[in-house]
Structure 1
Amino acid sequence: MSNTQTTSSPYKAESNPQQSVSGPLRTEDWWAVWIGLGIIVVAYLLFASGTSIKWLAVAPAKWASIGQASSDLVQHLPNYIALFVLFAILFGIAAAALGQRATQFLPGFLAVFVLSTLIFVAGAWVNSSTYNLEPPLIALALGLVVSNLVTLPAWLVPALRVEFYIKVGIVLLGATLPFTLLVWAGPVAIGQATIVSLITFFVIFLAARALGLDKRFAAVLGVGGAVCGVSAAIAIAGAVRAKREQASVAITLVVVWAIVMVFALPFASRSFGLPTGVAGAWIGTSEFADAAGIAAAQAYGDLARHAGNAIAGAPEASLQAFTLMKVVGRDIWIGIWAFVLAIVATTRWDRGEAGAVKTETTAKEIWTRFPKFVIGFLIASALVTWIGSHYSLAQYRSVVTPAFVAPITALRTWAFTFCFLSIGLTTRLGRLSATGAKPFLAFTAGVVVNVVIGYLLSVHVFSAYWSSLGQ
């Protein structure tokens, strides 16, 4: 995370794509893999020995009065302290390995943890679903209000590591998404993602060029809208050697539209009466950032959980469909677009430019740009599939889920909440005014196409697949 509140992007801490060559202990992606898989392995070893990490994976109970909420907090205070210590050690070690002093990270993380706990408590109110006060949306809204009304203290900013928290959460998410589901729905997700990625890119790219924007800038905007928002904008900016300020503008547009979609897509999905799996696929096709999309998908799943039969589908299906669409389907296009556009830039765009330096483009670019945390996600999914193969479906639901999967799900939710809160606390809405009208218009054209195509594919073309998730 950036060390000041005035940086051009709230996602500044995301690793430069080129850093992946520095080894598995020097990037956020790999540390997310080690932390996520480490938690899953320890959870399994305890489960296999007859115990569980359930005591550690604490979450507030439902409450109807402030007295009930306070009593539950006091009763489980040792659990919360132990959980903070665990996260502080794991994230602190990773931060130190990534070049940040633990003494800079820990004070801010304590504040993030306390605020996240209060957000969890607010989300446990018995009437929270009535007013759409789900923890992801509370975290995001609270952070936005605070960051746009006051200046954050310098000691808090180093702990607002948006990308790191979401990557850890995605690896943990793999433990709740069996590999058999990836095999079954993965081809559908990749096919749908391919359609969206190609169409959205060319709409934004051609609109930007028609408005007179530089082709490198148009490429950064196009991939930022077509694939994975911030990660894509950073990767493509490096691949085509775009200007730093062009990447910053693209990131700002991604963040602003991602936040809009966090609130708009769950509301629209509920208005249309979409099943959880279908809504998750639409969100995964239409959102521009993993963190924001997960917030929207999880919020819709929580709505379904509290709405009884008003929303069809299993609550977890919303997050599962989003993950298949966004993490498995769209995110893999980062490396593909970086590879293709690097070739185009070096063989065509650089030609004739004064001082142009020809750079070698090989298949290694795909690995360089590939989001490594996806590997952890797939390993986690395969591990849980192997564990589940030793049980019948009834045993899995009655034994494995409550003692092994449910605690990991709770820890995943904590990591996501850290991320959502960090997004809000690092997003300054005033940055949008500095982007200019032309980039905004070009990107917005892609937004419209993204949402419409995502709806048609999710609700009509592939609805049978998405509606069946979680059943």
Structure 2
Amino acid sequence: MSDRQPSNTQTIDPSYEARRRETQRRPDEARSGLFSTEDWWAVWIGLGIIVLAYALFASGTSIKWLAVAPAKWSSGAQLGADLAQHLANYVALFVVFAILFGIAIAALGQSLVRFVPGFFAVFVVSALIFVAGAWTNASRYNLEPPLIALALGLIVSNLLRVPAWLQPALRVEFYIKIGIVLLGATLPFTLLVWAGPVAVGQATIVSLVTFFVIFLAARALGLDKRFAAVLGVGGAVCGVSAAIAVAGAVRAKREQASVAITLVVVWAIVMVFALPFVSRALGLPTGIAGAWIGTSEFADAAGIAAAQAYGDLAKHAAGAIAGAPEASLQAFTLMKVVGRDIWIGIWAFALAIVATTRWDRDEPGVIKTHTTAGEIWTRFPKFVFGFVIASALVTWIAGHYTLAEYRSVVTPAFVAPITALRTWAFTFCFLSIGLTTRLGSLSSTGAKPLIAFTAGVAVNVVIGYLLSVHVFGSYWASLGQ
């Protein structure tokens, strides 16, 4: 009797089947339809906000009244007056978020009654975090709202017990997916042209080199290729956002995404202090320091804090630091927010195809079958389409303006309010990450992920320095002049 299996039969290794079940998405993500998955709802909510913002902008008004955030304050009296003045705006923002998120939650077949009380708590805590971030001395201590949210969440979850009623509102992936779609509205493709080939080229070099260093180091240490991909993209692009996007694209385990996020955040916090300090010690001009920070930092919030801190140092250094103070933040924005963040969609698309056509078929005990376009479509994180559509829409809008007009007209009335709402979404996400992360449980993965990621950090920092200071130094030094 032949040992060969019939052509319509698959031999499946039990360990593989167990792993496959482990990496399945939540039930709401497994369903099909434009209104049946978390990814698609993130797209509709994000694009809905952007379209509304543009409609108001085109009519001569703005969505700024809804995208509320505390003004800078230095005394309790100032803070109290500002909060009292904008109390109605905060109430309106909560109601809008609760309605939009609630519609999605209900459509996904989950309990709205359980979600709303928890989300109210998340919103109130996030508002208090925004208050802390608006303190006039906050930038001196790098107290950016998303970082405060993460730190607070980690403290609470690891020292206290998170109440069960809060759990339904701690939707890390949902909040970050909406934030990524809104991020697209702040990254028109035109910015790539305005940024110039230097910024785009440097960002491309860093994204590719960092990814492959981390990926190959992780594979050499025996880590799963899906885990290696999540770690690699987390270090190569915009840490948390990219890690979540790629984890879904390659079907990585949930705990693997959590480890990647934690490593990104840990190194982001280290860099937020180390990079400005070392830049100051080396006497780097503001533009060069901002480019190095943008090349080497792993999170937008942390990088903005570091670049802003260096710009503030230049303001008070009485000419000891060359360059315009604002050049630090400008260079960071070109490198990180424009050049590197645009790779989120590229890596998610590329790795979704690789995982579907190669990695899945290479699993032990699984007969090699032809991969269909439908399977690639099912695997691809749909919220990345929202990111691309949002970017295309803003590109069309930006096409009607020069760069100077874009910054003076479009940014304050249209882009800035969307950026504020994106920061709210990211704050919800980072707070949820902190509240759902038990540092003790991460120790089960061992030191290998840390070693692999740290190898990428070392290469990233060195290459970033060489490119920013020696290869393209004249370009970055002249920025803002």
Q: What is the identity percentage for the equivalent residue pairs of Structure 1 and Structure 2?
A: 51
For residue 103 of structure 2, the aligned residue among 93, 112, 115 is 93
Distance 1:305 1:53 in 2: 29
Deviation at 1:207, TM superposition (A): 1.5
278 and 364 in structure 1: CA distance in 2 versus 1, 3 angstrom threshold? farther
Q: CA RMSD in A?
A: 3.2
406 and 250 in structure 1: CA distance in 2 versus 1, 3 angstrom threshold? closer
Q: Where does 1:49-448 land on structure 2 (aligned, <5 Å)? A: 49-182=59-192, 189-208=203-222, 218-227=224-233, 228-233=242-247, 235-237=249-251, 247-273=253-279, 275-283=289-297, 287=298, 293-304=299-310, 306-307=312-313, 309=315, 313-315=327-329, 317-318=331-332, 321-324=335-338, 326-329=340-343, 332-345=346-359, 348-350=362-364, 353=365, 356-435=366-445, 437=446, 440-441=447-448, 443-448=449-454
SS in 1 for 2:141: coil
Deviation at 1:431, TM superposition (A): 0.7
**More off after superposition, 378-387 vs 184-193:** 184-193
Deviation at 1:141, TM superposition (A): 0.9
Q: Unpaired segments of 5 or more residues in structure 1?
A: 1-11, 209-216, 239-246, 288-292
Distance 2:432 2:167 in 1: 9
- 1:58-83 per-residue CA deviation (whole Å, 9 max, x = no partner) reads 11111111222122111210111111
383 and 102 in structure 1: CA distance in 2 versus 1, 3 angstrom threshold? same
Distance 1:470 1:375 in 2: 32
371 and 461 in structure 1: CA distance in 2 versus 1, 3 angstrom threshold? farther
Please say which structure displays the higher CA radius of gyration. 2
- 1:391-417 per-residue CA deviation (whole Å, 9 max, x = no partner) reads 344443333222222222221221121
Contact 2:361 2:369 in 1 (8 A): no
- 1:295-337 per-residue CA deviation (whole Å, 9 max, x = no partner) reads 3234335435654546663536535533445542255334433
**More off after superposition, 162-171 vs 76-85:** 162-171
Distance 1:136 1:413 in 2: 8
SS in 2 for 1:404: helix
Deviation at 1:259, TM superposition (A): 2.5
| Amino acid aligned to 1:460 | L
| Amino acid aligned to 2:332 | S
- 1:210-265 per-residue CA deviation (whole Å, 9 max, x = no partner) reads xxxxxxx5223311211243443454346xxxxxxxx3552343233123123112
SS in 2 for 1:26: coil
Q: Where does 1:2-17 land on structure 2 (aligned, <5 Å)? A: none
Q: Unpaired segments of 5 or more residues in structure 2?
A: 1-21, 234-241, 280-287, 316-320
Contact 1:332 1:371 in 2 (8 A): no
Query: How many pairs align?
Result: 428
SS in 1 for 2:342: helix
Deviation at 1:142, TM superposition (A): 0.9
469 and 327 in structure 1: CA distance in 2 versus 1, 3 angstrom threshold? farther
| Amino acid aligned to 2:104 | A
Calculate the TM-score normalised by the size of structure 2: 0.79
**More off after superposition, 174-183 vs 135-144:** 174-183
1:31 aligns with 41
| Amino acid aligned to 1:221 | F
